[in-house]
Structure 1
């Protein structure tokens, strides 16, 4: 029997337009401010690569993936692999990460969903991390 593990999901409401949120999700200078100092490179075109480089918990990392879907200003979906996972760099070990932006009045609801988690502990840890990322994004957009 296959063990089915749920997606990690985190969301918040930001007092900003969908377009402002989209810009923050796709502008390397802004990403660095809320995503733990990550240097991100991508053309943001479907099928194109995306890389993340930086330091996490004292370790250097160079993560990578592919843009799976991009529908500005509402949806960005990528694949993501981190060598820090200790797993081989094969498709089964990639997460999917979806950023969904929905207008709610004068604000935007931002939801991040991470799929292909290996166990419930990974789901729990990922949800904590994504909530922190969203809190950082909210602070960035609401204090500009």
Structure 2
């Protein structure tokens, strides 16, 4: 279970703007598959992402682990749509790191606890889509 999914994107917006979009409760179709994020961003507190995917309602959940605005965010994540039992060993740890670069922000996302290289690659593809959505929203609102 040590396969790590890795995704990153360069965003033409400030780190603060990217952070605001990343932590916004507002559902956006481009980010987290249009899910509404509910949390108070306090470490140890719950976080949920609820929405609809391909006609099916979903509610993913986890816990806020670490929050260092606007630099780093760590949460756990579990999706019932995975078909796996809701037990701690089936949760992933998601770490977002926002680094200032010339012209914007580099966002790196890593997800641990993938059982195979293939599952890590599948997850990385999903996270790349989410980060592309984050980029689109942050750049559009940065103008």
Same fold, TM exceeding 0.5? Answer: yes
In 1: Cα distance, 2:140 partner to 2:16 partner: 16
User: Which runs of 5 or more structure 1 residues have no equivalent in the other structure?
Assistant: none
Per the TM alignment, residue 28 of structure 1 is displaced from its structure 2 partner at its CA by 1.1
Per the TM alignment, residue 136 of structure 1 is displaced from its structure 2 partner at its CA by 1.1
Is the counterpart of residue 50 in structure 1 residue 47 in structure 2?
yes
User: In structure 2, the residue corresponding to 1:116 is in which secondary structure?
Assistant: strand
Q: Deviations over 1:96-144 (max 9, x none)?
A: 1111100012310001111111222211111111111111111111122
User: In structure 2, the residue corresponding to 1:46 is in which secondary structure?
Assistant: coil
Structure 1 residues 132 and 23: alpha-carbon distance in aligned structure 2, compared to 1, 3 A threshold: same
In 2: Cα distance, 1:83 partner to 1:116 partner: 16
Is the counterpart of residue 104 in structure 1 residue 104 in structure 2?
no
Partner residue, 2:56: 59
C-alpha contact (below 8 Å) 2:74/2:96 kept by paired residues: yes
Q: 1:41 aligns with which of 24, 28, 38?
A: 38
The size of the alignment, in residue pairs, is 141
C-alpha contact (below 8 Å) 2:3/2:115 kept by paired residues: no
User: Which runs of 5 or more structure 2 residues have no equivalent in the other structure?
Assistant: none
User: In structure 2, the residue corresponding to 1:28 is in which secondary structure?
Assistant: coil
Q: 1:117 aligns with which of 99, 104, 114?
A: 114
* RMSD over aligned Cα atoms: 1.5
In 2: Cα distance, 1:30 partner to 1:13 partner: 22
Structure 1 residues 112 and 26: alpha-carbon distance in aligned structure 2, compared to 1, 3 A threshold: same
User: In structure 1, the residue corresponding to 2:52 is in which secondary structure?
Assistant: strand
C-alpha contact (below 8 Å) 1:5/1:120 kept by paired residues: no
User: In structure 2, the residue corresponding to 1:101 is in which secondary structure?
Assistant: strand
Q: Deviations over 1:5-46 (max 9, x none)?
A: 420000011011111111011111165542221011000111
Partner residue, 1:29: 26
